[in-house]
Every structure is written in C-alpha cells, then in structure tokens.
C-alpha cells in the first residue's frame, strides 16, 4: 500500500476525482424478505467462498508461492481451493508427478502414468504437447497446430482410443475432422492421406448452412463422397459435381483396427488416424489442386477442428513454457486452510490410468480431497457432449473404485450456457445433450456436481455500470437455462472460476471488479448455488490481452511489484475480505441465505441500481451485502424486514463496512498503472438503520432483529 499522503497527492496530480454525487434524496427501502418463512439456501462460507489456482508461465510458480505472497493471498479469507488444469486447455497431457512410466519405456514415449509415490516433494509439474493433435487452436498458449494440414506426411492426427471399444466390431461412436476454408469455395475433389488405423466406412461431407450457427444447416455427403470399402493409403476422391461450401469434414464410422508395424499396444489400433487432408479440384491436366493451406502454424494453416485427440506423446514433447504448481507445494503452502481441495484430472487429453495414480498419490499423502473435477472446458474445445459423457463415465468408474467417498463432477464449461455449432442435431444445447446421455446410461447420479466458469463479458470496453446491471439479469437467465437444460435440481452447482472476463482489462483493477464479484457470488448463492471460486488469486501485473480499448489490468487480489511480490491490495481483495470477514461470520459454519426486496430506483431498462444479499449468521445477527452499481449517484437506503405483517424497520444502529471511491482510485499508465489511492474500507455505525450507499460502492451492514 502506498502511504496515504502520497496516495492523495497522486490522486490530485492525475485528476483521479471522486464520482459526482447527486443531491441528498429520500431513503429507499431494502428489506430482508421473511414472507416465505424459510431461507432460499444454506451455505457454509468456509466451503462456499473459494479461489482458483491455475497454471502459469515459465519460472512463475516459484515466484508466486513465496511465504510473503501466500500470506497476502490468505488474508482475503477465501479458504477452499479449486486447482485449475491449464494443461488440459493447452491440449497437453499432465505429468502431475515428473516420475512415472511410459507404455513404451524403450523409446520414452507412448501413454504416460505418473508414479503414485514421490521420493521428494512435487513442487512443479508440466504438460506435454500431443503430437497427434488435430485442432489448429487451443485455449491456453495457443502455440500448437493441427497435424491434419501441417504439410508433414510423417505426422498424423489420431482420435482418442478411449472412445473406442476393443470388444465391439466398430468404434463406440463416430469421429470427425472439420476444416474451415475461410470463405465459400468450389470443391470438386478431396484427398485423404490415411495413417493407421484408417477408416473403412466414412463420408466426405460439406455443410449446407449459411454459417456455422445455422440451425437448418446439415452435413451432407459430396456426390460420390460416401466410402464403404476404404483401404487406407492415399485416397483421392473426385466428386460427381462441384459444391460451393465453406466447411468440410470427414466423418469416420468404422475403423480398420490396424496398427503401425511393430506396435504392441492395443490402443494403437483403436480409433482413426489421418496424415493430411486436402480439398479442392482437378485442373485441365487431371492434377489435384489443393485449396487447403498446409503449415506447421495454427494461424497460417487452414483452420481445423477434431472430435477427439490421442493422448500419446513423447518425452521431448514437454512444454517448459507452461507450469502447473506441484501438488505438494500447494498443500504445504497453507492455501487450502486444511480444507479439502477440489482436484482435477485430465479427461480429454489424458488416461484413466494416470488419473487413478493421482488419486492414489493423494491418498498416500493423506491430503484432504473430496471433489474431483473431470476435464476442463470440453465445450470450448469442440468435444461433443456425448464424447465427453463417455469419457466422464470411463474415468469415474476407474477412480470410484479407489475411494467410494469421492464426489465426481464437471464438465467445467466455459460458460454456464453451452451451445453447439456446425451441428445437424436439432438440439443445440451441449449441456442438455450431456444430461440426456448420462440418463440414457442410467448414470445421472454419477454427476456429483455441475461445474462451470463465469466470465460474463468478452468485451470489457464501454460502460462498466451498464455491464454490472446486465450481469444480474444474465445470471437470472442462467438459472432458467439450467432448468431448461435438464440439470437435476438436486445436483450441486459450482462456479469453479469467476471474474469480469476471460480477457484482461482495466475494469478488473477498478471498483467495478469488486462490485461484480459481490454480485456474482451473492446472487449465485441466493438462487441456490453451492460454491464459487474467484479466479486471479495470486499477485499479478496489469496487461492488455484482447482489446486495446479495454486498457491495462488483470484479475488479481494483489498487484505485484517488479519482483513478483504482492504490493498493492486491489478492489477484488477488499471485496473478498468484506464478503468473508464481515458479511459472513468467519469459521462459524452454516449460514441461512434469505431473499431481499429492493426499492432503490431503476434505470431506463428497469434494472435496479442497488442489489442486496442477506445472511442469517450463526451468531444470530442479520447481515446485508449491498452493491450500488450507479456510477454517478449515491443511494440512501433504510434497512428492514418484510414480514407477513408488513414492513418492519431494523432495530438499533447498523454496523457498516463500506468500500467506495473514497478509498480507491486507479492511476492509469498502461503497463505501469497502479493504485493512486488505496485505503481499507471505512467502518462506522449508521443510526436508525439508514445507510448512504455512495456511487460505485460495496457495503456490508449488520442489523438487529426487526422491531
């Protein structure tokens, strides 16, 4: 924190003026609604208010997990931890223990299984790039590329063998490879250079929709594009007539069950493999003219997506630029506060054997673990709901044998709402299709919790106040979507990451960040949510990642100095402390969440300027968390209770903790930005239960029983 005198001087120099406040107005009412006779939810804040720990860049884990930084992180009061798996987002297999075994140990390659024991503490772990990758882009560093059109005949894409069934005559489900040609092209021929195993029954298809989101679009085989007797090798197909299209794919229905010469692993002959794909036409001399761009660069090659990827890899595929904190480092740091940590296992790009070894290791260490999240963001990685469902059940079956008390969940959606594209199924809800898949396999009860990420805005330019207002409307719609998507009402719902946006920007280091976080958590638990994990737990620095107009910032409780040490507490930090230390009763167990009624004015769209969230704490006191999203006007409110007998004013004075522009201002200087005013929340007693809510402010008020 910068000294107060310096902070105030800096504010004057750079013009960090407080928002203009409206003239005094009559107090509106905010009521804790008791008319239902029972709370809307019950939570234990020590289990419900948590933070996520993610992978980092090269060299950053050791700099982050210092005693100084850990102490500052813990001060936020966010006790439970969700361990995030960045390797899964990067299409990598996670060597959670650097010691382990290869399925082909003579060549240090194949399918990896980490050791379930460790001679020394595991302080760091890495992911390994998958050389049989089919996607041009990924959700992490996005430094890889598809092997479908990399121009290398020695490389190939292969589908995930764990989606095949060796006892069946064909794969458990079809696999596909899609190319986006970038614009409408005339396609009269295709070239499929097969590897082993190849498809014996497949179709080369084109998309009929006007774009990838067209619900009337269909995948239709090119005239002459159906092949029922495929023999592998270099298959060149001349279609009966050319077709105008942008999206093309190869749909593979039955595999050859053949493997490369010398293979001894049954997984080598499961699924499908393609060396290179080409789409184009024949010229006047009968030569194939390929319209696909082939390059070992995901941005330069024709964009490709695949239904799954084989987790086979080699020792040399290690990604040193992406670090995951070692499990021993995390548990020894004290960040888990002795509570069970939600641990992940890779599902899309890993094996059940490696996942089972992880659970055995945690048992051997006697680390507290209850919830296991299977996979991360399958919807954002083009994996079909049914394919994820098949992998989910396979992994859950393997892990459930090790500990019947473990609770499995997922799928850690990119957003609570997940829809499909380039999909001819009339049901475009990814989530509903997953629920129906699990029900069809009598396995809906194996979904121990439903997890998703909550980043409401990709674009964080423009009016932040309008975004804050819209976020609560979006969350209400989100819960309606949960019902429409047939998620069982009894299934716990968990936000495993939340924040302003998946992309960095100035809003994340200004007051709107604290207001948005409070609204997300308060509304979520009021509507029946079970737990929410803040993203951006560790100290960080301002960056601009996506849009220049978003400015510089990032999700973080603390801004770091040049050495990576936590220096300035951010609004997100003070908001977390107010939520965990003031709104909730620390370490007290179950709190009743009650609905509220707010009459504090609305904008032109009917959106309330003020939101309020109520807890009945174990100490018998009532606590309100109040958010004023109005950037220009203060809103005085009178606190009370709505009972069957009508409105009743809260008894006595309210104990108030308040955070507003009087405590915080941001010095905007690009990557050198930092707080200009950085003071702790104000504490005072409001007489007669009337509290003035400054513009852009977060307030906690503890009130007595109604009179």
In this model, does residue 12 exceed pLDDT 70?
no
Q: Please report whether residue 38 resides in a domain.
A: no
pLDDT at 166: 62
Angle at 488 between CA 373 and CA 403, to 5 degrees: 35
Q: Is the residue at 316 inside a domain?
A: no
Spatial separation of the C-alpha atoms in residues 66 and 60, rounded to whole Å: 11
CA-CA-CA-CA torsion sign (631, 635, 640, 643)? negative
Cβ pair 368, 338 in contact under 8 A: yes
Produce one character per residue of 384-407: b if its CB has 16 or more CB atoms within 10 Å, e if not.
Answer: bbbbbbbbbbbbbebbeeeeeebb
Report d(CA 279, CA 58) in Å as an integer. Answer: 39
CB distance 576 to 52 below 8 Å: no
The two structure tokens encoding residue 550: 């978003």
Distance between the two ends of the chain, CA-based, in angstroms?
42
Find the largest Cα–Cα distance for the chain.
Answer: 94
pLDDT score, position 8:
27
CATH number of the structural domain spanning residue 210: 2.60.120.260
- Tell me if 302 is assigned to some domain: yes
Of 45-49, 129-133, 586-590, the poorest mean pLDDT is in: 586-590
pLDDT in tens, 594-604: 999 999 889 98
Identify whether 294 is part of a domain.
Answer: yes
Angle at 386 between CA 385 and CA 387, to 5 degrees: 90
Q: CB-based burial of residue 456 (10 Å sphere; 0-12 exposed, 13-18 middle, 19+ buried)? A: buried
Torsion sign over Cα 488, 490, 496, 500: positive
Strand partners, 498: 454, 534
The DSSP H or E segment spanning 470 is: helix 464-484
pLDDT of the residue at 24: 47
Whole-number Cα distances in Å, 32 to 42, 91, 362:
15, 48, 43
The predicted-structure confidence for 279-299, as pLDDT tens digits, reads as follows: 999 998 989 999 999 999 999
Taking residue 671's Cβ as centre, other Cβ atoms within 10 Å add up to 9
Is the residue at 669 inside a domain? no
**Cα 566 to Cα 660: distance, rounded to the nearest angstrom:** 22
Inform me whether the pLDDT recorded for 676 exceeds 50: yes
Closest CA to 701 of 619, 590, 582, 595: 582
CA–CA distance, 507 with 546 (Å, rounded to integer): 13
Is 606 domain-assigned? no
What percent of the chain has pLDDT above 70? 95
pLDDT, greater one: 638 or 169: 638
Report residue 313: phi and psi, to 5°. -160, -175
Q: CA–CA separation, 115 vs 95, rounded Å?
A: 9
Other beta carbons less than 10 A from residue 224's beta carbon: 15
Question: No. of H helices and E strands in the chain?
Answer: 12, 38
Mean pLDDT of the 314-327 span:
97
> For residues 562 and 64, what is the distance between their CA atoms, to the nearest angstrom?
12
pLDDT surpasses 60 at 320: yes
pLDDT band at 432 (very low <50, low <70, confident <90, very high): very high
| Cα-only R_g, the chain | 27
Q: Name the pLDDT band for 314 (thresholds 50, 70, 90).
A: very high
- Identify the DSSP state of 40: S
- The mean of the pLDDT values for the chain is 93
Closest to 383 in 3D by CA, of 159, 622, 142: 159
Q: What is the pLDDT of residue 168?
A: 52
Instruction: Report yes or no on 696 lying in a domain.
Output: no
Enter the tokens of residue 684.
Answer: 């005072």
Average pLDDT over residues 567-584: 98
Q: 122 and 362 in contact (C-beta within 8 Å)?
A: no
Comparing CA positions, the residue from 277, 232, 12 lying closest to residue 136 is 277
Identify the pLDDT of residue 267: 96
Domain count within the chain: 1
Which residues make Cβ contacts (< 8 Å) with residue 472, sequence separation at least 6?
A: 519, 523, 607, 608, 611
What's the domain range around 263?
157-310
Residue 103 has pLDDT above 60, yes or no: yes
Query: pLDDT, tens digit, for every residue of 471-495?
Result: 999 999 999 999 999 999 999 999 9
């Amino acid at each position: 924190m910068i000294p107060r005198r310096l902070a105030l001087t800096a504010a004057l120099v750079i013009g960090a003026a407080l928002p203009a406040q409206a003239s005094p107005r009559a107090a509106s009412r905010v009521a804790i609604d008791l008319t239902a006779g029972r709370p809307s939810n019950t939570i234990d804040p020590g289990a419900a208010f948590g933070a996520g720990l993610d992978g980092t860049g090269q060299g950053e884990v050791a700099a982050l997990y210092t005693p100084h930084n850990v102490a500052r992180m813990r001060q936020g009061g966010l006790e439970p931890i969700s361990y995030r798996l960045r390797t899964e987002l990067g299409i990598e297999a996670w060597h959670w223990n650097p010691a382990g075994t290869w399925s082909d140990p003579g060549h240090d390659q194949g399918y990896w299984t980490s050791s379930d024991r460790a001679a020394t503490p595991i302080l760091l772990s890495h992911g390994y790039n998958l050389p049989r990758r089919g996607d041009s882009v990924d959700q992490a560093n996005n430094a890889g590329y598809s092997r479908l059109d990399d121009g290398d005949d020695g490389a190939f894409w292969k589908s995930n063998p764990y989606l095949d069934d060796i006892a069946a005559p064909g794969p458990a489900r079809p696999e596909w490879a899609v190319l986006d040609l970038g614009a409408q092209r005339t396609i009269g021929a295709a070239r499929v250079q097969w590897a082993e195993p190849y498809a014996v029954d497949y179709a080369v298809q084109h998309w009929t929709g006007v774009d990838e989101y067209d619900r009337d679009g269909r995948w239709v085989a090119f005239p002459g594009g159906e092949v029922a007797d495929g023999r592998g090798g270099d298959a060149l197909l001349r279609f009966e007539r050319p077709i105008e299209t942008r999206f093309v794919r190869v749909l593979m229905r039955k595999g050859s069950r053949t493997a490369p010469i010398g293979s001894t692993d049954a997984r080598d002959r499961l699924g499908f493999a393609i060396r290179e794909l080409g789409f184009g036409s024949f010229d006047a001399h009968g030569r194939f003219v390929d319209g696909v761009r082939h390059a070992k660069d995901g941005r330069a090659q024709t964009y490709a997506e695949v239904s799954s990827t084989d987790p086979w890899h080699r020792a040399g595929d290690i990604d040193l630029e992406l670090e995951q904190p070692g499990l021993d480092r995390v548990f020894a740091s004290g960040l888990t506060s002795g509570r069970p940590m939600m641990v992940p296992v890779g599902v899309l790009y890993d094996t059940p054997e490696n996942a089972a070894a992880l659970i055995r290791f945690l048992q051997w260490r006697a680390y507290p673990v209850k919830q296991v999240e299977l996979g991360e963001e399958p919807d954002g990685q083009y994996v079909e709901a049914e394919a994820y469902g098949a992998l989910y059940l396979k992994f859950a079956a393997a892990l459930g044998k090790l500990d019947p008390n473990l609770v499995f969940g997922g799928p850690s959606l990119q957003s609570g709402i997940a829809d499909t594209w380039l999909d001819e199924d009339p049901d475009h809800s990814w989530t509903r299709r997953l629920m129906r898949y699990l029900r069809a396999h009598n396995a809906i009860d194996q979904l121990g919790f439903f997890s998703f990420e909550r980043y409401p805005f990709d674009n964080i330019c423009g009016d932040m106040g309008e975004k804050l207002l819209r976020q609560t409307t979006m969350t209400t719609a989100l819960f309606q979507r949960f019902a429409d998507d047939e998620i069982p009402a009894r299934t716990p719902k968990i936000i495993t990451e939340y924040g302003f946006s998946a992309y960095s920007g100035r809003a994340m280091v200004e007051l709107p960040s604290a207001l948005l976080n409070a609204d997300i958590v308060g509304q979520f638990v009021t509507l029946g949510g079970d737990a929410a994990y803040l993203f951006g737990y560790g100290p960080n620095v301002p960056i601009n990642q996506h849009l220049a107009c978003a400015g510089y910032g990032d999700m973080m409780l603390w801004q770091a100095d040049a050495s990576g040490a936590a220096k300035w507490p951010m609004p997100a930090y003070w908001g977390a402390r107010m939520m965990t230390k003031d709104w909730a009763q620390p370490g007290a167990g179950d709190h009743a969440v009650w609905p509220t009624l707010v009459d504090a004015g609305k904008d032109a769209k009917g959106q309330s300027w003020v939101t309020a969230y109520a807890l009945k704490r174990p100490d018998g006191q009532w606590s309100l968390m109040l958010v004023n999203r109005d950037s220009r006007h203060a809103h005085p409110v009178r606190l009370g209770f709505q009972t069957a007998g009508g409105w009743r004013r809260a008894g006595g004075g309210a104990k108030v903790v308040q955070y507003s522009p009087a405590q915080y201002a941001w010095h905007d200087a690009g990557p050198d930005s930092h707080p200009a005013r950085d003071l702790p929340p104000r504490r005072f007693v409001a007489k007669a239960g009337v509290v003035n809510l400054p513009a852009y402010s977060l307030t906690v008020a503890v009130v007595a029983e109604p009179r």
